[in-house]
Amino acid sequence: MAAVRLPPVGGRRAGILLALLAIGLLGVGFGLRDPWPADEPRFALIGQDMAESGRWGLPHRGPELYAEKPPVFLWAQAAAYLLTGHTRSAFLLPSLLAGLGVLALVFDLLRRLHGRRVAWWGTAALLFTLQFTLQARTAQIDMLLTLFTTLGLYGLIRHLVLGPAFGWYALGGLACGLGVITKGTGFLPWLLLLPWALAKRRGMRGLSTIPRSGRWLWGPLAFLAPILLWALPILWLAAQPGHEEIAAYRDDLLWRQTVVRYGNAWHHHAPFWYYLVEVVPVLWMPLTLLLPWAVPAWWRRIRRGQALPLLLLGWVVLVLLFFSLSPGKRGVYILPALPALALALAPLLPGLLRRPDVHAWLRWLALGIALLLLAGSLWALSGRAGFAQRLLEQSGVAPWGWLAGVGALGLMGSLWLWRRGAFALALVLGLLWSGYGLLGYPDMDAARSGRALIERATAPLPERAELGIVGGPEQFLLQARQHPRLAGARAFGYRTPLARQRADAVAWLREAPNRWLLIQHTDLGACLRAEGGFDAGWSNRRRWWVLDARALVPDCVPDPADEEDSPLRIDDDA
């Protein structure tokens, strides 16, 4: 079969087109939804609190210090909220800008290494990779972390391959330091020095000739600077008398959430092979579909003495190994390695995308996604699919109409682009993300954001009521704080044991009139009863009840230590 012709992509117009495509694909639906659990409401709530209270140094989640993560992403959330003045316009902004920043770094580095044509295809391949697009559209920490790790790699490669460039090397070190205080694994770009040392020892081609110099210290010093600027004030405050809460924050963040979490994780347990078998083959598509052709080509180049493939692939392997050694695993942890895989694959793409067999492979993926969406949605719409009923009952969403439309359009597009499988796949993925943003966001938002429950809970309340939340997730407090009928809203803790929350809520309810509690019916305890309240319905797979002072049992004094309650049953991981 004849080779597939590719469009010319070396000019500036093609670069502008790629930038517009990236903004459209990552930004479609922006502003059409509120934060969704598990992580987004938590970070939006903390960022809002920072912006409104001025407590930038010690992040708070409701009444508690939040020690699960370092502060940089939380600062970004707060800055976005200050910039826009509205949570819905702010919470996705840090991830969107970080995703665009990663693409810009990848494009520029590929342009310097291989030219604009390779840069275009490599950046486009990363843009359409499933995990990258998903995380750039999600308000989690990991895309901002990936921006810092990619900048770290960029600075190191500018020095080690395109250098010597000690200034870029120092910038890479600074980016790693910022990555550490974004999420502790920001140091990972330094692992690039291991394959670099191996390539240098073997005399491989393509490395900079860098003299011995005291300027090698610039990188570690730049790395330590942001970490110390943030950590030293916390350590000093924690050592002062009367600051036991800050000392607990220090111990939790710097020890339990880093060292203990890596070596003895308490949740998200998965086997060693989890990333290679369950995550990379699926979430790194379509890049992983090209590996049967790419791996032999990489091996030939490394055997011929080319250092760059060894550096990039060696770093990807080290990152996968690092996360595989920890018992606690989530698919998103390995996102920082994805841009490096795209950098390694990019020089091969112009050749691979001329091959009919590569396009056939990608075409079948496009057809498979479209058919799965269409068939699954039609089955759900028929009323006979158990998974559709469970989704509706547990989450209150039924996205089958727009998913069926995406599947039908994707199927027609795949047949139209039959010989150009890569473009068919890009079309199907573009339709999926566009449908998800423009139709799925508004369709699912009320249920997923907690807004529907707060509307049901507040509709019968008198004007200017106050709402207290016991054992509820962060999205309830976030929605209640911005509800126009409420004079105020508060939570009684998230890591605080339920008995302590309930005791504080009972005391709060007795202090003033026009106060109401949102609580699970099963969590009422001895001093609260359902009489006088009303059922607010289901959310987060739990049933919620709204009570006022009529629910208080007369003369009952709650004991916050009367039972071994656990904190709120939510996942603190991100």
| pLDDT value of residue 393 | 67
Structure tokens at 180: 């550490």
Does residue 572 have a pLDDT over 60? no
Does residue 29 have a pLDDT over 80? yes
Alpha-carbon distance values, 400 to 30, 61, 406 (Å)? 21, 35, 10
| pLDDT value of residue 573 | 46
Phi first, then psi: give them for residue 536, nearest 5 degrees: -95, -5
Which pLDDT band, with edges at 50, 70 and 90, does 570 fall under? very low
Which pLDDT band, with edges at 50, 70 and 90, does 24 fall under? very high
Residues 292-331: tens digit of each pLDDT: 999 999 999 999 999 999 999 999 999 999 999 999 999 9
Does residue 560 have a pLDDT over 90? no
Sign of CA dihedral 153, 277, 36, 505: negative
Distance CA 298, CA 386 (A): 46
Q: Which region holds residue 311: left if phi is over 0, alpha if psi is between -120 and 50, else beta?
A: alpha
Tell me which range, 60-69, 264-273, 305-314, is most confidently predicted by mean pLDDT. Answer: 305-314
Does residue 391 have a pLDDT over 60? yes
Taking a C-beta distance cutoff of 8 angstroms, is the pair 534, 460 a contact?
yes
Sign of CA dihedral 111, 116, 117, 120: positive
Q: If you write DSSP's letter for every residue of 242-257 in order, what string do you get?
A: T-HHHHHHHHIIIIII
| pLDDT value of residue 145 | 98
| pLDDT value of residue 63 | 87
pLDDT above 90 as % of the chain: 77
Does residue 84 have a pLDDT over 90? yes
Does residue 390 have a pLDDT over 90? no
Does residue 564 have a pLDDT over 70? no
Which pLDDT band, with edges at 50, 70 and 90, does 394 fall under? low
Residues 488-526: tens digit of each pLDDT: 999 999 988 999 999 999 999 999 999 999 999 888 888
SS3 456: helix
Judged by average pLDDT, the poorest of 14-28, 257-271, 383-397, 539-553 is 383-397
Which pLDDT band, with edges at 50, 70 and 90, does 200 fall under? very high
Alpha-carbon distance values, 457 to 473, 476, 483 (Å)? 15, 10, 11
Distance CA 39, CA 243 (A): 28
| pLDDT value of residue 89 | 93
Distance CA 207, CA 102 (A): 24
Residues 405-449: tens digit of each pLDDT: 999 999 999 999 998 999 999 999 999 999 999 999 999 999 899
Distance CA 163, CA 218 (A): 15
> What is the model's pTM?
0.94
| pLDDT value of residue 411 | 94
| pLDDT value of residue 282 | 95
| pLDDT value of residue 568 | 44
Average pLDDT (80-93) is: 95
Does residue 8 have a pLDDT over 90? no
Average pLDDT (124-130) is: 97
Does residue 383 have a pLDDT over 80? no
Does residue 569 have a pLDDT over 50? no
Which pLDDT band, with edges at 50, 70 and 90, does 1 fall under? low
| pLDDT value of residue 574 | 46
| pLDDT value of residue 224 | 97
Residues 230-243: tens digit of each pLDDT: 999 999 999 998 88
| pLDDT value of residue 290 | 96
Which pLDDT band, with edges at 50, 70 and 90, does 571 fall under? very low
Residues 166-189: tens digit of each pLDDT: 999 999 999 999 999 999 999 999
Does residue 382 have a pLDDT over 90? no
